[in-house]
Amino acid sequence: MPLDPQVARWRERRIADSVRPLYTQTLAEARAADLAEIQAGTGTPEPVLEVRDLSLPVAGATLPLRVYRPSDAAALPALVYYFGGGWTLGQIETCDGICRTLANAAGCAVVAVGYRLAPEHKFPVAVHDCYDALGWVAEHAGELGIDPGRLAVGGDSAGGNLAAAVTLLARERGGPALVAQLLVYPNTCYHADTPSLRDNDDESMFNRRSVDWYWGHYLATPADGTDPLASPLLAADHAGLPPALVITAEYDPLRDEGERYAESLRAAGVPTECTRYDGMMHGFFLMSSMLDGGRRAVRQAVDFLRARLGTQPDAEPGAVSLADYEARARAVLPSQVWDFAAGGAGAETTLRANRQALDAVVVYPRVLASGGRTDSRTRLLGTPAALPVAVAPMAYQRLMHPDGELAMAEAAARAGVPMMLSALSSCPIEEVAGTGVALWFQLYWLAERHALVRLIERAEEAGCAALAVTLDVPVLGRRLRDVRNGFALPAEVVAANLTDGSGSRAHVAHRGESAVAAHTSALFGSALSWADLEWLRDRTSLPLALKGILDPRDARRAVDLGADAVVVSNHGGRQLDAAPASVAALPAVVAEVGQACDVLLDSGIRSGTDVLRALALGAAGVLVGRPLLWALAADGGAGVAEALALLGTEVQESLILAGCSDLAAVRELRTTQEACR
């Protein structure tokens, strides 16, 4: 396949920035540039329970070791990890990010080894350093809190080569016993004559000249290249080596030798998984913060390690309420992303009020009225819906999960509920529409009219069933968590429907400023007027919803200009922090326009009971926001599908408990709203 689009963008940036190939730099320059690039690719290092720096005396030197422990369990299995860098570049810091990730995700200790580099130390110094470090870990397992019976080795690139060489030495010398080897695009053969080595000659990426340059530093003589400890593929026999996962990249000169090594292991009876990542290039495993392919490969490595090291997590009990996804999402999301989604504006008074006000809605059930059955089907904005529920528009869902809006849409389609897609979606409208979901498109009023018109046309052409305009964002609310975090979008998450993605503005972090807010201010027109909405009403024949209305006078104007629905919303407490809880504002809006258009409600809906409350107060339906993001983060599309199925069950049960055989009966229920703003 062609280069993955994310890799292609990365490559274009390198060309635009005139990044020089490492092999044209001095050693000192190349070592610094390699480290900087890898650190940028792995992203912010995650916290680990314990990180210990140790020194290991070996013949003629002292090697740094770093031990990462994700938990205080007495005897953790361990992965001994060797960084890449062509035996020439690299240090413990090079693999700091990936070691943290693997330790946390695989539930094992990880020991990074600071082996000696070429050309100062030629082959086989690095191999022996790596083997000695493994031996030391096995010998000192008790002190390190490591289980010596569950040791694995792994590494990327030259680190993968060293890991493979160490398995050969360990077999030859009768230990330490190894239960797994993780080889990420390893060098396995000096002067391999392979198509991948011949074909990959792109100067802007790792290429065959890079490969030659590193071997040139590593080997004292070409004859050393035939030693199986330098070229593990040349070992006479691969039987008895530990089970392996070999990861390769399509656009990597080392691809074929990695795959040949996997074949050779398999032929010798070693259980071996080998996966080629199409469209990816050498180095992608350490670029999780930029490349979905990198994230997938790391997940695969984690699954492999968990299976081999015996750290499979206990099966999580299924979620029994939407709230259960919140803790799961928090555990997997980077803290700044969590804050971006969970947070509200200002002191988060309105955010809290949404929940308090919903809790304060009392619904008086009828008895002997439903016959124990109910029908929750309805139409919202003219779109059939299995439940009086739609997915709220939420920007940048690929922050939560690489599948982003596509997974959300597939799950909504399965549940039979419409999805309102944000103008700031991180997947293109056309692709989301392709899932078959009943799609509504939410517009922000872009400052550039031609860009806005193009968005409307695309939504119409993609078959969206309705348009919505969000009215409550003249500027982005001041979300203090994002300001404190200096929150910026990672490179791989862009506003996929805008011609310039999210521009560079949303991606450049500045202390004390939310880059997302700065980008939004630049993008949106703050002077949206009723006249603009009239223009839109004339421009499209699609049903039109206006979102972010709290005052009945605004609801009346919306209806007068021809809106088919209003969404009573305070944006989940993310805009004006003095705004009322949406549910507190609902009855007055229903009284004003409930007969003339659909009144939808969002902000704080967390259960079937909340849906019942909203409907009993006169809403035609609700939009659900954050809980679906949490489910997406926790388990991708499967998580959202499960969450929506759970919500469906809750809605049905609430209706039956309230004695309602259909949604019309809910609107006849008596309610009171107590002690809310």
Ligand X SMILES: Cc1cc2nc3c(=O)[nH]c(=O)nc-3n(C[C@H](O)[C@H](O)[C@H](O)COP(=O)(O)O)c2cc1C
Q: Which residues pair with 181 in a beta bridge?
A: 153, 244
Taking CB under 6 A as the criterion, the residue among 109, 153, 341, 432 binding ligand X is 341
Q: Which is nearer to ligand X, 231 or 442 (CB)?
A: 442
Among residues 238, 401, 507, 571, the one annotated as catalytic is: 571
206 neighbors 282 (Cβ within 8 angstroms): yes
Residue 605 is a binding residue for ligand X (CB under 6 A): yes
Site string for ligand X, 343-382 (x = CB under 6 A): -----------x----------------------------
Residue 255's nearest CA partner among 242, 246, 244 is: 246
Residue pointed to by tokens 């992203």: 43
Taking CB under 6 A as the criterion, the residue among 210, 378, 603, 673 binding ligand X is 603
> Least distance to ligand X from the beta carbon of 548, Å?
7
> Least distance to ligand X from the beta carbon of 417, Å?
14
Indicate the DSSP class of residue 474.
Answer: S
Residues contacting ligand X: total by CB under 6 A: 22
216 neighbors 234 (Cβ within 8 angstroms): no
669 neighbors 613 (Cβ within 8 angstroms): no
373 neighbors 656 (Cβ within 8 angstroms): yes
> Least distance to ligand X from the beta carbon of 567, Å?
8
Residue 626 is a binding residue for ligand X (CB under 6 A): yes
User: Three-state DSSP class for 380?
Assistant: strand
Euclidean distance between CA atoms 182 and 167, whole angstroms: 11
Euclidean distance between CA atoms 443 and 451, whole angstroms: 11
> Least distance to ligand X from the beta carbon of 424, Å?
5
Stretch that binds ligand X, among 224-232, 358-366, 589-597, 599-607 (CB under 6 A): 599-607
Q: Which is nearer to ligand X, 283 or 548 (CB)?
A: 548
Indicate the DSSP class of residue 44.
Answer: S
Residue 560's nearest CA partner among 593, 604, 584, 585 is: 593
User: Three-state DSSP class for 607?
Assistant: coil
Residue 471's nearest CA partner among 533, 517, 425, 521 is: 533
> Least distance to ligand X from the beta carbon of 471, Å?
9
> Least distance to ligand X from the beta carbon of 540, Å?
18
Q: Residue 641 corresponds to which tokens in the numbers above? A: 């599908």
Sheet containing strand 272-281, strands side by side = 50-58, 61-69, 109-113, 76-82, 146-156, 180-184, 244-251, 272-281
Question: Which residue is closest to ligand X by CB?
Answer: 625
User: Three-state DSSP class for 447?
Assistant: coil
Q: Which is nearer to ligand X, 125 or 409 (CB)?
A: 409
Taking CB under 6 A as the criterion, the residue among 102, 105, 392, 546 binding ligand X is 392
Active site residue 128: no
Residue 580 is a binding residue for ligand X (CB under 6 A): no
What are the distances in angstroms from CA 195 to CA 4, 79, 211, 390?
20, 32, 14, 51
Count CB neighbours of 178 within 10 A.
22
Q: Are strands 466-470 and 544-549 parallel, antiparallel or unpaired?
A: parallel
Residue 514 is a binding residue for ligand X (CB under 6 A): no
Residue 401 is a binding residue for ligand X (CB under 6 A): no
> Least distance to ligand X from the beta carbon of 496, Å?
13
Q: Which is nearer to ligand X, 342 or 590 (CB)?
A: 342
User: Three-state DSSP class for 510?
Assistant: strand
Residue 604 is a binding residue for ligand X (CB under 6 A): yes
Residue 625 is a binding residue for ligand X (CB under 6 A): yes
Residue 401's nearest CA partner among 100, 642, 630, 627 is: 630
State which of positions 403-422 bind ligand X (CB under 6 A): 422
Taking CB under 6 A as the criterion, the residue among 256, 257, 554, 602 binding ligand X is 602
Q: Which is nearer to ligand X, 141 or 611 (CB)?
A: 611
Q: Are strands 383-385 and 378-380 parallel, antiparallel or unpaired?
A: antiparallel
Taking CB under 6 A as the criterion, the residue among 157, 288, 569, 673 binding ligand X is 569
Contacts of 242 (CB under 8 A, 6+ apart): 152, 153, 167, 178, 179, 180, 181, 270
Stretch that binds ligand X, among 380-388, 401-409, 475-483, 565-573 (CB under 6 A): 565-573
Residue 393 is a binding residue for ligand X (CB under 6 A): yes
Q: Which is nearer to ligand X, 89 or 568 (CB)?
A: 568
> Least distance to ligand X from the beta carbon of 553, Å?
21
Opening angle at CA 642, ends 641 and 646, nearest 5: 115
Taking CB under 6 A as the criterion, the residue among 547, 554, 577, 608 binding ligand X is 547
Residue 520 is a binding residue for ligand X (CB under 6 A): no
Half-sphere exposure of 406 (CA within 13 A, CB side): 11
Taking CB under 6 A as the criterion, the residue among 110, 205, 358, 394 binding ligand X is 394
532 burial level (CB within 10 Å; 0-12, 13-18, 19+): middle
Alpha helices in 388-486 (DSSP H): 404-415, 429-433, 449-461, 480-485
> Least distance to ligand X from the beta carbon of 618, Å?
18
Taking CB under 6 A as the criterion, the residue among 571, 594, 641, 647 binding ligand X is 571
> Least distance to ligand X from the beta carbon of 550, Å?
12
Stretch that binds ligand X, among 14-22, 133-141, 490-498, 602-610 (CB under 6 A): 602-610
Euclidean distance between CA atoms 627 and 376, whole angstroms: 20
Q: Which is nearer to ligand X, 66 or 571 (CB)?
A: 571
Stretch that binds ligand X, among 208-216, 365-373, 620-628, 665-673 (CB under 6 A): 620-628
Taking CB under 6 A as the criterion, the residue among 336, 350, 470, 514 binding ligand X is 470
Stretch that binds ligand X, among 231-239, 275-283, 507-515, 566-574 (CB under 6 A): 566-574
Residue 489 is a binding residue for ligand X (CB under 6 A): no
Indicate the DSSP class of residue 171.
Answer: H
Residue 95 is a binding residue for ligand X (CB under 6 A): no
Euclidean distance between CA atoms 381 and 96, whole angstroms: 51
Taking CB under 6 A as the criterion, the residue among 624, 641, 651, 655 binding ligand X is 624
Stretch that binds ligand X, among 367-375, 534-542, 567-575, 659-667 (CB under 6 A): 567-575
315 neighbors 564 (Cβ within 8 angstroms): no
User: Three-state DSSP class for 361?
Assistant: strand
48 neighbors 80 (Cβ within 8 angstroms): no
What are the distances in angstroms from CA 511 to CA 346, 482, 488, 492, 508?
18, 10, 10, 21, 10
State which of positions 422-461 bind ligand X (CB under 6 A): 422, 424, 442
Q: Which is nearer to ligand X, 378 or 570 (CB)?
A: 570
Euclidean distance between CA atoms 45 and 106, whole angstroms: 16
Catalytic residues: 571
Give residues in contact with ligand X (CB under 6 A).
341, 354, 392-395, 422, 424, 442, 470, 547, 569, 571-572, 574, 602-605, 624-626
